Chain A
Amino acid sequence: MCLWQNTLKRELRTKMNCGECQKKISVFLDNELDEITSATVRSHLALCAECAKVCEDFAAILESCRLEKPSEILPPNSQALWCRISNTIESEINPGTKSAEVQKSWFGRVWQVSFSQAGSAVLGIALISSLLTVVGIRNYIEPTAEDFTSRTDASQTTIEKVLSKVGLADTPQEARMRRFQEQRAAIEYWNNRAQQRRVQWDNKMREAFDRNLNEIDQAVGEYTTILQQDPQDDLSGEMLDSALNEKMNLLRAFSDL
């Protein structure tokens, strides 16, 4: 009898090894195995203490799951947890692939331009920056029309003086001369217009206009003479600027009559 039993044990053990048995324990406990396999597992468990221990552990876990409420077993927001777990697993499985994708998308956004587009962009940036530089320098150096009259050598900043010497900016005298030229051009324009309208004025108006124009011209003549003698005379420069403005305003006012 004993011999027979020992022989049967050996036979059953050989039929199913421990690895196979442990794989099927979970299914065995759920009663989902067919009868033959189930009998084989049961037989193996009866003979193998190690696998029986694993089976007991599984059974204990299942038992506790049955006894506890689902809310106590499941963590809060289990779905989010599973997502995190899934992401972690995926990143661990394919770390190289993921980072490559990220890199590709980032570089793709920046460098997905044609050569001509890149060239245009560079040219545009260069043009805008040079324009901004020129405007900035001009604004810094060139005062407004109202400030111009008070612009003198003394009031020039060091940077302005340096730029003037290098030739990048006008000296106050040069700026003044340029302004006078502009004013004279404007005066010529308004004078032509005023002369066209002159026939429509009455004698009194014509005489008053001529007297005033003559008075301004005398002042302009005086300032011009002083400036020819002393180009550094800023006060005469300011006054000449003012007188030319007066003349322009007079001509403009009468060109509407």
Chain B
Amino acid sequence: MIRNLKYEPRVLMHTKPGKAHPLIQLVLTRKTTILLWLSVVFFFAPILNEVSAQRRFSRNYPATRNVRLQLLNRSGTVEVEGWDRPEISISAYLENPAANIAPQSLSGTIYIDLVKDNQGRNGVGNVNFVIKVPRLSIVDIETRMGNLSVTNINGGLVRAMISTEGDITLTNIGAGAVDAQNGIGDIFFDGEMRSGGHYRFTSIRGNINLRIPFNSSFRLVATAPSTRNISLGSFGNSNMNLLGNGRSVVGRFGNGSSTLTITNHRGSISFIRR
């Protein structure tokens, strides 16, 4: 409008000295209002955007003590926590473009398969799960990308797998079998090893840290061929043998009642006494 005023000299001719033209005043007033509105929008935009971009999905299922949770996510974080209630609580935060999610409960197993539910879709936003399950549950979670975390589980199996990138954090685990596998990222296990149990940790590149009690008992095969960085800490003893010029450690700790297999192609392996 200001640009247009330049081309209308007649309007300006009628302006009294010392006072702005009414049209200019109007423009100035509107400009202030517009600026005020813009500042408000600018201030609240991220919040509004956040609200509009995330959708929440929530569902509860009654469960037996040893229910099985089987989850396959595309991308996003997954947190699974054991609790004392006989039910499974699933909360998912879906980023745009929101994924389709259709959990199923079939004969004691809760299935969530976001790969199948969203097959053929171009671009699906992250889905971040917070799931609570009975402590004795079997937990089998997998994602193509994103962090996985499992806490307070004492069931038969904990399996956590990331196809590409993400950290796996397993804390306060007393499961009979644990299988953690990722591509690029760290794996941290803090738990107990049951007699007769099988424990396997595999990574392409990252740090694998195990925090276990000193009274643990296992037969160990730990391999870190690229870095040769295998730190047994308090668990090193005369029953442990270095193989392949330090690329692998094979041996027994305690009476070797469980099996522990750790492979880290391009990263380190460390044992920490609990």
Contacts and interface: CB of A to CB of B under 8 A. Distances in A.
Given A212-B204, A235-B248, A250-B163, A257 B145 contact: no
A204 B75 contact: yes
A186 to B, nearest CB: 16
Contacts of A47: none
A216 to B, nearest CB: 6
B119 interface: yes
B191 to A, nearest CB: 24
Q: How large is the interface on B (under 10, 10 to 19, 20 to 34, 35 or more residues)?
A: 20 to 34
Contacts of B205: 215
B121 interface: yes
Interface in B155-195: 163-165, 183-184
Contact of B265 (A209, A239, A257): A239
A225 to B, nearest CB: 12
A238 B223 CA distance: 10
B15 interface: no
Contacts of A235: 223, 225, 243-244, 247-248
B65 interface: no
Interface string B231-274: 00000000000011001100000000000000101100000000
A118 to B, nearest CB: 54
Interface in A143-163: none
B183 A215 contact: yes
B204 A219 contact: yes
A237 B98 CA distance: 44
Contact of B144 (A199, A200, A216, A257): A257
Contacts of B145: 204-205, 208
Interface in A238-253: 238-239, 242-243, 246, 249-250, 253
Contacts of B120: 200
A212 B164 contact: yes
A126 to B, nearest CB: 44
A184 B164 CA distance: 20
Interface string A209-243: 10110011011001100000000010110110011
Interface residues of A, number: 30
Contacts of A212: 163-165, 183-184, 204
Contacts of A257: 74, 115, 119, 144
Given A215-B184, A219-B265, A243-B265, A200 B122 contact: yes
Most interface-central of B120, B121, B164, B184 (chain A CB within 10 A): B164
Interface of A: 199-202, 204-205, 208-209, 211-212, 215-216, 218-219, 222-223, 233, 235-236, 238-239, 242-243, 246, 249-250, 253-254, 256-257
B226 interface: yes
5 contacts: A215-B183, A235-B225, A235-B244, A235-B248, A253-B144
A239 B225 contact: yes
Contacts of A209: 164
Interface string B215-231: 00000000101100000
Contacts of B122: 199-200
Contacts of B183: 212, 215-216, 246, 250
Contacts of B119: 256-257
B206 to A, nearest CB: 10
B123 interface: yes
A256 B115 contact: yes
B163 A200 contact: no
B225 A211 contact: no
A215 B266 contact: yes
Interface centre among A208, A215, A222, A235 (most CB of B within 10 A): A208
Contacts of B204: 212, 215-216, 219, 243, 246
B110 to A, nearest CB: 21
A208 B265 contact: no
A208 to B, nearest CB: 4
B44 to A, nearest CB: 27
A236 B245 CA distance: 12
Contacts of A253: 144, 163
A244 to B, nearest CB: 11
Contacts of B265: 216, 219, 239, 242-243, 246
Given A200-B120, A209-B164, A242-B263, 4 more contacts: A201-B123, A208-B145, A216-B204, A239-B223
A15 B245 CA distance: 129
Report, nearest first, the 4 A-B pairs whose CB atoms are least far apart.
Answer: A235-B244, A212-B183, A253-B163, A208-B164
A242 B248 CA distance: 14
B259 to A, nearest CB: 12
Contacts of A249: 163
Nearest to B74: A257
Contacts of A202: 123-124
